[in-house]
Amino acid sequence: MQADIFCRVVDNYGDIGVCWRLARQLANSHGWDVRLWVDDLASFAHIQPGIDARSPRQGLAGVDIVHWSDTPAPVLAARDVVIEAFACDPPEAFVDSMRRTHPVWINLEYLSAESWVESCHGLPSQRPDGLVKHFFFPGFTPATGGLLREPGLSAERDALQGSTATQDSFLRSVGVPDEALALRRQGARTVSLFCYASAPAGELVEALAADPRATVLLAPQGVAPGLEAACQSPGAPRLVRLPFVAQPDFDRLLWCADINFVRGEDSFVRAAWAARPLVWQIYPQDQNVHLEKLDAWLARYPAPESAQALIRAWNQPQAGQTVAAVKAVLEPAAGQAWAAAARQWDASQSALPGLADNLVAFCAELAKKR
């Protein structure tokens, strides 16, 4: 299959994060010839070393990367499959070429745990010009498109989680200092933090500082800028700032942590594959509609009530309940129940077919009918 994936970076790193992961998997696990169109190469370069933000065309990891600029737009014609991520509308000249060849056209939607997704997944949308676009919804049930998950991920994760020495050398390689590694070896818990500015990170630090067990807190540069000041108090976590790392290393960071605070879409899914407790900060939307989506996911996530309460508090900072909620999950019994639930969540979700496999099968069916 020859495919074009279109990615417009609306905000942050999730749009390109999802598209880049999908592009690599289609190219490397399924042998597809993939062109990835990206309008914002600077954001791409932030999460992928080796991307040249000024290059109109470059190849990396088996993917042909096209800078999607409007001045002038690249002159390329559609091939077998067109995947537009998150309804980003391919350029008009490209759609013109689609009218001549009628490729399979997929609109890859945002992830949601809401039940309506099942009835919309796979539906066609007939356009007046004769082209048909199909909706492909990621999701958590067999009636959806599933979640992105690379083959062999669990084995790689288990190997890392089973070896303190391998974790040490990995963490050292991404910039964790020896003295923080020593704290881990002496029994400190590891917490990773990737959140939006609205997250009550100060309350998290306050609760961790009050706990007798020490904490090493890993946070990317620029995220939660108040952490440096918050981590000055006695007993506060040992804060380690890390540069943004490539996606496979970001996975490994999550695998090394005891609790992962993640956000948006892609890091949220990756934290599930860590099989460790996760706190999700959902991407905020107008009129708090995101809170309904959060509830839809919490109804599926098998974590105990104390963990669910923390996740709700983390997403509604005005409630000011995060200190108490963190303290509750640090109780040994609560923590053990949550850790077991996290393993169960990973096992149940990874037993379902992955998004790339589902997408490949879906496109093959549609291609037969062309």
Residues with catalytic roles: 15, 265
Report the nearest approach of ligand TRH to the CB of residue 325 (Å): 22
Structure tokens belonging to residue 130? 């004769």
Site of tokens 């083959």? 151
Report the nearest approach of ligand TRH to the CB of residue 222 (Å): 9
**Closer CB to ligand TRH, 283 or 362, in the complex:** 283
**Closer CB to ligand TRH, 122 or 220, in the complex:** 220
**Closer CB to ligand TRH, 39 or 266, in the complex:** 266
Chain centroid, CA 365 distance in Å: 28
Site of tokens 């105990």? 304
Residue 62 CA: distances (Å) to CA of 11, 32, 47, 65, 220: 26, 9, 17, 9, 28
Residue 129 CA: distances (Å) to CA of 78, 166, 361: 16, 56, 26
Report the nearest approach of ligand TRH to the CB of residue 360 (Å): 21
Which residue has the CB atom at the shortest distance from ligand TRH? 14
Report the nearest approach of ligand TRH to the CB of residue 12 (Å): 3
- The angle formed by the CA atoms of residues 13, 17 and 18, to the nearest 5 degrees, is 130
**Closer CB to ligand TRH, 49 or 235, in the complex:** 49
Structure tokens belonging to residue 160? 């890392």
Q: How far apart are CA 208 and CA 242, in angstroms?
A: 20
Question: What residues have CB less than 8 Å from 146, skipping those under 6 apart?
Answer: 138, 139, 352, 353, 354, 355, 357, 358
Report the nearest approach of ligand TRH to the CB of residue 86 (Å): 7
**Closer CB to ligand TRH, 116 or 232, in the complex:** 116
Q: Which residues bind ligand TRH (CB under 6 A)?
A: 10-15, 17, 47, 110, 194, 220, 244-247, 250, 263-267, 283
